[in-house]
Amino acid sequence: MSVRLRYSDGESVDQARSLKQASAVDPVVLELALGLYQRLFTRRVSLHAIGLTLSHFAHGAAEQGALFDEREAGRRAALCEALDRVRGSYGHGAVVSGRALHLKGRVNEDRYGFVLRTPSLTK
């Protein structure tokens, strides 16, 4: 994991650490990220950007958990509404799901998202 801070005056700092062992638990990763952030943010200058890079993923048997459980249906609805507003302002292709991220730069796009060719449906 790598954390990079860019200050408003143009100066930047970064630092990287590795987990001792692979973890599928978000709090472990978040704790490491926050620790790096706290070590790096030492100046009394406002931040312009914060970058977080995760790499060297390991395949495991752990399944990804649900983003929202059934008790948080209101939060899910609010997220969907927010996505709809962003897509309404900037086009459907402004927000891409993680599953489709590998298509960015490889498949043509327009305001409505990816332009897919389906020869079997073309007359």
Sequential pLDDT tens for the chain (123 residues): 899 999 999 999 999 998 877 776 677 788 888 999 999 999 999 999 999 988 877 766 455 556 556 667 777 788 888 888 988 888 777 787 777 778 888 888 877 777 777 766 555
- What pTM does this model have? 0.47
Task: Name residues whose C-beta falls within 8 Å of residue 3's C-beta, 6 or more positions apart in sequence.
Answer: 14, 15, 16, 33, 36, 37, 40, 50, 51, 52, 53
